[in-house]
Amino acid sequence: MAENPMLKFVTVPRDMPEKRDAAARRSDFDEIYGEYAREKAEEQASRCSQCGVPYCQSHCPLHNNIPDWLLLTAEGRLREAYEISQATNTFPEICGRICPQDRLCEGNCVIEQSGHGTVTIGSVEKYITDTAWEEGWVQPIRPATERPESVGIIGAGPGGLAAADRLRRAGVQVTVYDRYDRGGGLMTYGIPGFKLEKDVVMKRMDQLQDGGVEFVLNCNVGEDISFDAIRGKHDSVLIATGVYKSRELQAPGSGADGIVRAIDYLTASNRKGFGDDVPEFDSGELDADGKRVVVIGGGDTAMDCVRTAIRQGAESVKCLYRRDRANMPGSQREVANAEEEGVEFVWLSAPRGFRGEEVDGVIVSRMRLGAPDATGRQMPEEIEDADYVEEADMVIMALGFEPEDLPALWGVEGLEVTRWGTIKADFRTHATSLPGVYAAGDIVRGASLVVWAIRDGREAADAMLDYLSASAKVAAE
Ligand code: FAD
Ligand code: SF4
Ligand code: SF4
C-alpha cells in the first residue's frame, strides 16, 4: 500500500521559509522571507492532518480549500493545487504574503493546538502561486462570451480589483477609475515592499489589463469626473475607495513642522521605491534619514512606519503605545520583526504634547492599565507627575483611518452611510441604498484587511452580475 503523504506533523517540525538576517534587512526594502525550495514546500504541506472539519478553512475569510491544496502540494501536483487555490482567492500570492495568518487560518490550525506548531499555510499558498507565475499558468482573462453590459469600479485596491477580475471573467465590460497613477490601492502605496514587493502587485495589474479591464488612472472621482457621470456611463457601479482620513491628535504643538501623517510618509517611501520624483521626500520632510524618529500608535500601520524609518537610515526609532505589548492591536510577528531590526518600543506611554516649532521632542505621559472597559479591555490611565520628554526630529502619527464623507464630497443624494461614516451596504450582496450601486472593502468595513476586501469584491461582483442579468431580462420584456 502507498505511504500516506500527509500527517507528518509528528516527525516533521514546522519550518518557515528562510528569514533574512536583520542586519541585511535594515538596508533594503526587499521582502524578508525567502521562498521554499520545492522539497521543503512538499514536506511542510505534508504536515497537515487533513481534518474532517478544517478550522483553518472556516477561519479564512475566503474559505480557501486549504486541506486539498496542501495534499496536492505534498503529492507534487502543483498545477492542480494552483487551480484549486485560485478558484476561491483572486490574489493568493498576495494573501500568502500579508494576511495576518496567526489570527486567521494558521491561528486555528488544530496541530498548533496539540503543540506541534501550525502548518505554514500562508507560505505554501505563496509558493504555489509564485510557482504558477513562473510556470506561465497564470494567464490573462479570456471570457467565453462578451456581454454588452458595462460596470464602473471606483478604486483600484484589492476590493475593486477582485470585483473587476470576476466581472471580466463573466464577459462584462469593466472600467476601473483611480485617483492615483498606479493601481493596487494600499497594496501599492500603503504596505511597504519588505512585506509585499511591488512587482507582485504590478503583475496582477498587467494581467487584468491584458484581460480587457480598462483602467482610468489619475482620475479623482468627485473632482475630475462626477459620480453621477460615472453612473450615467455604466449599467452598474462599485464603490471601493478605501478609508484615507487620518485620525488626528489634538494636543499642544501638534501642528509643528516635522509631525507627519503615516499615510503620507509611507506613500512617499513607496513612490521612491518606484523611482518617482517625490519633492516632499527629497526635501527631507518625509525622509527619516539621520533623524530621531518617534512613531505614535500600536497598529500594523505603526509597525510599517517604524520599519520603514529603520531602512531609511534613521538615527533611532521609537514606537510609543499607550497600552502594553500584550494589548497592542498590531501583529506580534511584526513587533518581533521590528525589534530584531532595531526598533525600541516604549510601552504604556502616550503623547501629551509636542515641543518646538520644528518638533524636537514629544512630551510623554506614562500610563498604567486600569479597569476594563465595556469590551473587557483594560483602559490606560495616566500616572500623575510622571511626564518626560522623548527627543525627536520627526514624529509619525499612526492613529488609524476614518472614511471620508463621500456623499458630501461627491454631492450624491440618497447614498446612505452608517454612524461611523462608512457606506451602508447589505452584508451579503453589498448593495447600497442607490439602485445598481454596490460598495466593498474598507469603505464599508472601516480599516480592515486585504483578504476581506477581496472577499467583498468577489461577492459584490456576483451580486452585480445578478443585477445586470435581471435588468437585461426586464429590458427584453
Ligand atoms: P484601498 O486599498 O484603500 O484602495 C482604494 C483605492 O481607491 C485607492 O487606490 C484610492 O486611490 C482609490 N480612491 C479613493 N478615493 C477615490 C476617488 N475619489 N476617486 C478615484 N479613486 C479613489 N492588510 C493586510 O491584509 N495585511 C497587511 O499587512 C496590511 N498592511 C497594511 C499597512 C498599511 C500601512 C495600511 C494603511 C493598511 C494595511 N492593510 C493590510 C490593510 C489593507 O491594505 C486594506 O484593508 C485594503 O487595501 C483595503 O482595500 P480596498 O480595496 O477597500 O481599499
Ligand atoms: Fe490564510 Fe489568508 Fe490564505 Fe486565507 S487567504 S488561507 S487567511 S493566508
Ligand atoms: Fe491541516 Fe491544520 Fe487545516 Fe487541519 S487545521 S486541515 S491540520 S492546515
Could you give phi then psi for residue 389, rounded to 5 degrees? Answer: -110, 130
CATH 3.30.43.10 fits 247-400, yes or no: no
DSSP state of 290: T
Helix (H) or strand (E) holding 380: strand 378-382
By the 8 A CB rule, do 431 and 237 touch? no
Written as one letter, the residue type at 295 is: V
Judge if 150-243+403-476 and 247-400 fold alike in CATH terms.
yes
Class of domain 150-243+403-476: alpha beta
Q: Where are the beta strands (DSSP E) in 321-360?
A: 344-346, 349-355
Relative to the alpha carbon of 161, which ligand is closest?
1
- Which residues make beta-bridge pairs with 397? 261, 296
User: Which cell goes with 38?
Assistant: 520545492
CA distances from 409 to 404, 405, 415 (A): 8, 6, 12
| Distance, CA of 39 to CA of 76 (rounded, Å) | 9
Instruction: Give the predicted TM-score (pTM) of the model.
Output: 0.96
Give, for all 477 residues of the chain, the pLDDT tens digit: 567 887 888 888 898 888 999 999 999 999 999 888 888 999 999 999 999 999 999 999 999 999 999 999 999 999 999 999 999 999 999 999 999 998 899 999 998 877 889 999 999 999 999 999 999 999 999 999 999 999 999 999 999 999 999 999 999 999 999 999 999 999 999 999 999 999 999 999 999 999 999 999 999 999 999 999 999 999 999 999 999 999 999 899 999 999 999 999 999 999 999 999 999 999 999 999 999 999 999 999 999 999 999 999 999 999 999 999 988 887 888 999 999 999 999 999 999 999 999 999 999 999 999 988 888 888 899 999 999 999 999 999 999 999 999 999 999 999 999 999 999 999 999 999 999 999 999 999 999 999 999 999 999 999 999 999 998 878 888
CA–CA distance, 371 with 235 (Å, rounded to integer): 53
121 CA from centroid of ligand 2 (Å): 7
DSSP letters, 397-408, are: E---EE---HHH
Tell me the pairing of strands 214-216 and 361-372.
Answer: unpaired
Assess contact for 352 and 390: CB atoms under 8 A. no
Homologous superfamily of 8-135: Alpha-helical ferredoxin (1.10.1060.10)
C-alpha distances out from residue 360 to 7, 257, 392, Å: 57, 10, 5
Pocket of ligand 3 from Cβ distances under 6 Å: 48-51, 54-56, 66-67, 109-111, 119, 121
Please state the length of the chain. 477
Does any ligand 1 atom lie closer than 6 A to the CB of residue 180?
yes
- Closest ligand, as measured to the CA of 98: 1
Please state the atom number of ligand 1 nearest to the C-alpha of residue 180.
Answer: 11
Ligand 1 pocket test: which of 180, 197, 450, 454 has the largest number of ligand atoms within 8 Å of its C-beta?
450
Indicate which atom in ligand 1 lies nearest the CA of residue 196: 28
Domains in the chain: boundaries: 8-135, 150-243+403-476, 247-400
Distance from residue 19's CA to the centre of ligand 3 (Å):
23
